[in-house]
Structure 1
Amino acid sequence: MDRVVVTGMGIVSPLGNEVETFWSNLKEGKSGISYIDLFDASAFGTRIAGQVRDFDPEALFGRKEARKMDRFVQFGLYAAEQAVKQANLDVSMIDRERFGVYVGTGIGGIQTLTDNMEAYQNRGPGRVSPSLVPMMISNMAAAQISIRFGAMGPTLSPVTACSIGNTAIGEAFRLIRSGDADVILAGGTEAAIHPLSLASFGNATALSKRGDDPEKASRPFDGDRDGFVMAEGAGILVLESMDHALRRGAPIYAEVIGYGASSDAYHVVASHPEGEGAFLAMKRALQSAGVTPTEVDVVSAHATSTQVGDLAETKALKKLFGEQAKDIPVTANKSMTGHMFGAAGGAEAIALIRSLNDGIIPPTINLDHSDPACDLDYVPNQAREADLSIGLSNSFGFGGHNAAILLARYQA
Structure 2
Amino acid sequence: MKKRIVVTGMGIVSPIGIGVNENWERYLSGISGIKEFETEGIDTKTYAGKVSDNELETIIPEAIKDKKDRFTLFALAAAKIALHDANIDKGFNKEKIGVFIGSAFSGLNIIEKQIKILYADGPRRVHPLLMQNNLTNAPSGEIAIEFTLQGPNIGFSSGACSGNYSIIHAFNTIQQHDVDAIVAGGTEAPLCPRVFQELKQKGSFHQTNHSLNRASCPFDIDRKGFVLSEGAGVIVLETLRSAEKRGAEIYGELIGFGASYANHEDASQQNSDFYSKVSCIKQALESASLDPANVDYIAASGISGIREDREESAVIRSVFGENASKVPVGSTKGSLGFAIGASGPIDVIFSLVSLKKQVLMQTNNLENIDPSCNSIFLLKKPEFKSINTILSNNFDYNGNNISLLFKRV
Deviation at 1:319, TM superposition (A): 1.7
Q: CA deviation at 1:177?
A: 2.6
> Equivalent residue for 1:29?
30
The SS at the match of 1:108 is coil
Find the partner of 1:191 among 178, 185, 189: 189
User: What's the offset of the Cα at 1:284?
Assistant: 1.0
Residues 265 and 212 of structure 1: CA distance in aligned 2, closer, same or farther (over 3 Å): closer
Shift of 1:96: 2.7
Paired position in structure 2 for 1:124: 122
Amino acid at match of 2:316: L
Q: 1:102 maps to which residue?
A: 100
Shift of 1:42: 9.1
SS at match of 1:323: helix
Aligned counterpart, 2:132 = 134
Aligned equivalent of 1:5: 6
Contact 2:262 2:272 in 1 (8 A): no
Change (3 A) 1:234 1:378: farther
Matched with 2:236 is 238
Counterparts of 1:339-378 in structure 2, within 5 Å, are 339-378=338-377
Alignment of 1:42-121 (within 5 A): 43-55=42-54, 60-90=59-89, 93-121=91-119
Which residue identity does 1:310 align to in structure 2?
A: D
Asked if the contact 2:30/2:364 (under 8 Å) is kept, the reply is yes
* In 2: Cα distance, 1:271 partner to 1:169 partner: 30
Which residue in the other structure is 2:180 paired with?
Answer: 182
Q: Is contact 1:271–1:309 with CA below 8 Å preserved after alignment?
A: no
- Pairwise CA distance, 1:272: 4.8
Output the CA distance in 2 between the equivalents of 1:271 and 1:127.
Answer: 50
Q: Structure 1, residues 19-66: CA drift from partner, whole Å, max 9, x if none? A: 111001222222221112xx5569532421111114455554433322
For residue 214 of structure 1, what is the aligned residue in structure 2? 212
Query: Any idea what the Cα deviations from partners look like across 1:132-152, whole Å, max 9, x if unmatched?
Result: 001111111111111112222
Q: Is the 8 A contact 1:364 1:378 kept in 2?
A: no
Give 2:248's match in structure 1, choosing from 247, 250, 272: 250
Identify the residue that residue 156 of structure 1 maps to in structure 2.
154
Give 3-state SS (helix, strand or coil) of 1:209's partner: coil
What residue identity is the alignment partner of 1:391?
Answer: I
Match of 2:282 in 1: 283
**In 1, distance between residues paired with 2:292 and 2:243?**
29
1:315 is matched by which residue type in structure 2?
A
Match of 1:409 in 2: 408
Q: Unaligned stretches of 5+ in structure 2? A: none
**Cα drift, residue 368 of structure 1:** 2.3
Pairwise CA RMSD: 2.1
TM-score, scaled to structure 1: 0.93
Q: Is the 8 A contact 2:334 2:365 kept in 1?
A: yes
Q: 1:175-215: per-residue Cα shift (whole Å, max 9, x none)?
A: 21334422001110011111221222123221223445222
Residue identity matched to 1:300: A
Q: d(CA) in 2 for partners of 1:25 and 1:308?
A: 29
Match of 1:382 in 2: 381
Question: Structure 1 CA distance, aligned partners of 2:28 and 2:270?
Answer: 29
Whether contact under 8 Å (1:31, 1:337) holds in the other structure is yes
Task: Give the letter aligned to residue 236 of structure 1.
Answer: V
C-alpha spacing 1:20/1:249, structure 2 compared with 1 (3 Å): same
Aligned length: 406
- Matches of 1:64 and 1:29, distance apart in 2: 35
Q: Kindly provide the CA deviation profile for residues 208-232 of structure 1, in whole angstroms up to 9, marking residues without a partner as x.
A: 2344522211111112211000111
1:274 and 1:316 in contact (8 A); partners too: no
1:14 aligns to 2:11 (yes or no): no
Q: State the distance in 1 between where 2:227 and 2:23 align.
A: 18
Contact 1:330–1:376 under 8 Å retained in 2: no
Cα distance in 2, alignment partners of residues 375 and 165 from structure 1: 30
> 1:370: how far off?
2.7
- Say if 1:271 and 1:308, in contact at 8 Å, map to a contact too: no
- The 8 Å contact of residues 160 and 396 in structure 2, kept in 1 or not, is answered as yes
Normalising to structure 2: TM-score of the pair?
A: 0.94
Which amino acid is the alignment partner of residue 130 of structure 1? Answer: P
- 1:202 is aligned to 200
Cα distance per residue 1:115-142 (max 9 Å; x no partner): 1111111121222222000111111111
CA distance in 1, matches of 2:394, 2:380: 22
